[in-house]
Amino acid sequence: MTTDVINPSTGAVLTSVPSLGLEETDAAIERAHRAFPAWRAVAPGERARLLRRFAAVVDEHLDELADLEVRNAGHTIGNARWEAGNVRDVLNYYAGAPERLIGKQIPVPGGLDVTFHEPLGVVGIIVPWNFPMPIAGWGFGPALAAGNTVVLKPAELTPLTAIRLGELALEAGIPEGVFQVVPGKGSVVGQRFVTHPAVRKVCFTGSTDVGKSIMARCADQVKRVTLELGGKSANIVFADADLEKAAASAPGSVFDNAGQDCCARSRLLVQESVYDKFLALLEPAVRAFRVQDPAQDTAEMGPLISASHRETVASYVDGADVAFRGSAPDGDGWWFPPTVLLAHGAGDRHWREEVFGPVLSVLPFRDEEEAVRLANDTEYGLSGSLWTRDVGRALRVSRAVETGALSVNSHSSVRYWTPFGGMKQSGLGRELGPDALLGFTDVKNVFLATGD
């Protein structure tokens, strides 16, 4: 059985890939299970060397991987190059972990007490279609470094870079069975990661509803989970901010990757005393945002991932109060123009729900207290930004907004050396940085009696 892979810029079939069934998924998990004892026993320095070699091989194929992502996911070439480089950087970062995965010596009477960080076993990683390359690396990098083996299921719409990364791992010398890519349906492959007893942890990035289902089913086996789920992040602009800079950067914070980003700052809160001025600054920035063939170096945004998703995004705009829109190419492909909607209250559908497209909702606020209340009035808490020149306000609001990653006077969400993850229904656990590594281990406590 195979699945067609479509180029979202043209609607044409790129290729077809296998869609593996239950038997093949079980076989992959069994290979990972058999490979685990030998992989965990690899000397820390040697495991580090293999991960550095994997990073080097990825680096040698950056252009190839970026080109695959442009054609398969519709990412701009600039973004795709960064994403391939991020896989390389994550592998290099966690290549430093095996030799530094140190425990503790805890003072106790009558002997010596020490702790070890033991690998879990087989880790199942379920990757979404919006950022197929980097999110895969955020899972398999620390998992492999900690001594686990990995089975990875790419999204059905965007499997090509994950499949290629699996091939490059073997080329780099990662042993057979240690890192496998298993393409197929979520209802088959992903579901089996959840139910198979040999899989000791599941990492899932995707919708909150699916994440809840995975978490509930993992509970049957007390199986560990890391969940990075939906988002409806706020971009809060106070009257004392650098309004020109805030307005110029706002389009990129929500329209990057065509808004198909859980971290998109899709709720724009502007202090009412500068609301009209800010919209006047925002409009030319939105109209100038370049929606082009993603293979062009000048492109800032490409198409949406599929025709059905374009229909979903359009449903949020139909009947809404459109402030202004950018432009998008005509013809083949699943294009959608950057769109700014005026919210007339916190109950508006486009204000409350995750659109996952290039749609920005704008709402004024009176003061700091109302800004925090409106920002927190959501089930999500993944990312966000605030703009102010007042350092005290920046600290107060940063602490008060319920979100896992927040940036002041910028739109940063992800650095591979700092933790990333959500609060509330945006997720559970942390990826990247030093925090992620220990999520792929169990702490073992050992007491050695000395006969004192």
Question: What residues act catalytically?
Answer: 228, 262
Do 326 and 286 meet the contact criterion of CB atoms below 8 Å apart?
yes
Residue at token pair 């109950």:
347
Q: Is the distance from CB of 388 to CB of 410 less than 8 angstroms?
A: no
- In angstroms, the first-to-last Cα distance of the chain is 66
Rounded Cα gap, residues 263 and 253, in angstroms: 8
56 is written with which tokens? 């080097």
Q: How many helices (H) and strands (E) does the chain have?
A: 15, 18
Place of tokens 């990247």: 432
Cα–Cα distance for residue pair 202/157, rounded to 1 Å? 20
**Cα 389 to Cα 408: distance, rounded to the nearest angstrom:** 9
Quick one: tokens of 313?
Answer: 């995004």
Q: DSSP label at 175? A: P
408-415 contacts, C-beta under 8 A, 24 or more apart: 409/241, 409/242, 409/245, 409/246, 409/385, 410/249, 410/385, 411/235, 411/249, 411/252, 411/253, 411/265, 411/385, 413/263, 413/383, 414/134, 414/263
267-271 and 359-365: which strand pairing? Answer: parallel
Task: Please state, in angstroms and as integers, the Cα–Cα distance from residue 288 to each residue in 7, 252, 284, 325, 419, following that order.
Answer: 25, 11, 6, 10, 33
> Which candidate, 198, 5, 94, places its Cα nearest to that of 433?
94
